[in-house]
Amino acid sequence: VYLEQHGQATASELADAFMVTRTLISRNTWRLIQDDLIQSQVNPNDRRIVWLSLTVNGQERVQEGVRQVQANLKAFN
């Protein structure tokens, strides 16, 4: 959802946003990359910077989650 809202972020930005270690973010993003939910792109001007963003599959998965939450809230009422 963070990447949906912000478009892209680095692992360090995500670690700061979620108040966790960069190592934890890296471990979890690797799995999301393997599952084709996010993609990484190296900054051509500074190869130390790697941007993470949602893939089309990732965007669809986020939207499915939003719809499910909305349906659950409607059912709760």
pLDDT tens figures, 53-63: 999 999 999 99
Which residues constitute the domain of residue 27?
2-76
Give me the CATH number covering residue 65: 1.10.10.10
pLDDT tens figures, 25-47: 999 999 999 999 999 999 999 99
pTM of the model: 0.82
Q: Sorting pLDDT into bands at 50, 70 and 90, what band is 77?
A: low
Query: DSSP of 2-16, one letter per residue?
Result: HHHHHSEE-HHHHHH
Total domains in the fold of the chain = 1
What is the pLDDT, as a whole number, of residue 25? 94
CB 37 within 8 A of CB 53: no
Q: Sorting pLDDT into bands at 50, 70 and 90, what band is 76?
A: confident
